[in-house]
Structure 1
Amino acid sequence: MKKAIIYIPNKNPMQSGSAKNDKWILEFKTKNPTKNPLMGWESSSDTYSELKLEFSSKEMAITYAKKMNINFELIEPRKRKTVKKSYADNFLK
């Protein structure tokens, strides 16, 4: 049985915007990862580990997983806490 996780990826820490953070990703978990003896890289014979599917909504990703008989784990995104302050607050304390 295939296992997958459904999540929204984190924003790029090098960018301040959040433009491309609305896609839900269905990513398959790797079965039996092995270490390449020559280079030391982690590899697997499971080709599903290379596959990432994008969906525009959480419901579409869940519906697809259920339709294709995929066991999935849903990771809900955390709400980002923003503190609003003015430029003058930098000089007041």
Structure 2
Amino acid sequence: MPARIVQLQKNAMQSGKANAGRWVLEFESGRKKVPDPLTGWAGGAETREQVRLHFPTLEAAQAYAAKNGLDAHVVPASQPKLKIQAYADNFR
């Protein structure tokens, strides 16, 4: 089953970086999601995609994937875009 390894980013709603930098292994679904006729929510029959494994380093996540025969790929983290401006720019 395919999996992806991503690095957690800082939460946009908080200023702290408590969990930033940790690595997460997430399983990808091999089946198409179908909408529920009653609620309209998209769902599938696989429960593996609900599992998220946390690792302190990228090497630990890759070692776990190799040990268990998972086809894991690393998703690069996006770089934050900073908008540098002075306080006086708010009044122009």
Superposition TM-score tier, normalisation by shorter sequence: 0.7 to 0.9
Look up the SS of the partner of 2:62 in the other structure: helix
Displacement of 1:91: 4.3
Moved more, 61-70 or 13-22: 13-22
Unaligned residue ranges in structure 1 (runs of 5+): none
- 2:11 corresponds in structure 1 to 12
> Aligned in 2, Cα 1:72/1:91: closer, same or farther, shift over 3 Å?
same
Displacement of 1:56: 0.6
Given that 1:31 and 1:44 are in contact with CA atoms closer than 8 Å, whether structure 2 keeps it comes out as no
The one-letter code sitting in structure 1 at the alignment partner of 2:43 is S
Given that 1:8 and 1:22 are in contact with CA atoms closer than 8 Å, whether structure 2 keeps it comes out as yes
Match of 2:87 among 83, 86, 90: 90
- 2:51 corresponds in structure 1 to 51
Give per-residue Cα distances to partners, 1:16-72, cap 9 Å, x unaligned. Answer: 221211210000012222211111111111111110000010000000001111001
RMSD of aligned Cα (Å): 2.2
Percentage of matched positions with identical amino acids: 29
Q: How many residues align?
A: 89
TM-score scaled to structure 2, two decimals? 0.80
- 1:29 corresponds in structure 2 to 28
